Structure 1
Amino acid sequence: MRLIDTVAWVCVEDGRILGTRSRGRTLFYIPGGKRETGESDLETLVREVREEVGVELLVDTVEPAGVYEAEADGHGADAVVRMACYTARHRGALRAGGEIEEVAWLTYADRDRTAPVDRAVFDDLRDTGLLA
């Protein structure tokens, strides 16, 4: 088994969750990504969110939101992604940046349009009443 260790920003507003779609991909992903050498979860989260959706996270509002594991989309049958999720307030206007082609607000009805690990987050958010 090959483990891909990532972090993600769970941004939920009005019963919808922020999702991103990279160029050349069909599935949406919760914003975030892999650590660079020596980065902490917080450093990775702040950098990835800035690169992908152009906003600054307010670091004093970052809170853990769970850790999820599932088959890694597009990385072969032996790859598993572990995604440490965090919530946080932000400042700035959301916009697609870097490799991101599309930013969208998703509901539970969009669950099947997301990566396998994100589907577990969608399930938890629906179960707690946060995702429409």
Structure 2
Amino acid sequence: MIDHVAKRIHVSAVVLRHTLTGQVLAVRKRGTHMFMQPGGKPDPGESAVDAAIREIREELCVELDPTRMRLLGVFEAPAANEDGYAVRGTVFTHPPVEVSEPAAEIEEIRWVAPDAPLSDDLAPLMTTRILPALRAAGV
């Protein structure tokens, strides 16, 4: 937990793997420089699963099957693009799906090998929480 940060951003995110390579999808929103898991903030009254499905549909034009989503965990780390904030992410896994082009506010997608050296432009939630949780779970 991050006690020194007063403000938190709550998000729902999904770990999507490449069908052939097993790499993890990261996205970069327009006007930012950090890559992170696809997802976003839940609307009022929206469940974490429903928010994740909606965000993936909007950002990647991909329809996820809610019955195949599994909770990886709820993680917290410094926010990647908002100084002075922490992000608390409810993170799900989903079996591989075909992803080709970004949509909505997503400017760029990148496939990241979970066990390879990580670049400086990956969000802390991804590098310090999500990727280690994937490795620990053997997912």
TM-score (structure 2 length as normaliser): 0.82
The separation in 2 between residues aligned to 1:66 and 1:59, in whole angstroms, is 16
Residue 53 of structure 1 contacts residue 103 of structure 1 at CA under 8 Å; is this kept in 2?
no
The structure carrying a bigger strand percent of its residues is: 1
Instruction: Give structure 1 stretches of 5+ with no counterpart.
Output: none
Partner of 1:43: 50
Percent of paired sites with the same residue: 33
Q: Deviations over 1:23-75 (max 9, x none)?
A: 12211010001011111111101110001111000111011011110111232
Q: Matched residue pairs, number?
A: 129
Q: Deviations over 1:76-129 (max 9, x none)?
A: 22x211001101236554320001011111124235321111112122334455
RMSD: 1.9
Partner of 2:75: 68
Kindly tell me: are residues 72 and 60 of structure 1, through their superposed partners in 2, closer, same or farther at Cα, counting changes over 3 Å?
Answer: same
Residue 80 of structure 2 contacts residue 123 of structure 2 at CA under 8 Å; is this kept in 1?
yes
Kindly tell me: are residues 128 and 59 of structure 1, through their superposed partners in 2, closer, same or farther at Cα, counting changes over 3 Å?
Answer: closer
Kindly tell me: are residues 111 and 15 of structure 1, through their superposed partners in 2, closer, same or farther at Cα, counting changes over 3 Å?
Answer: farther
Letter in 2 for 1:16: Q
Partner of 1:116: 124
Partner of 1:106: 112
Moved over 4 A (4+): 90-93, 127-130
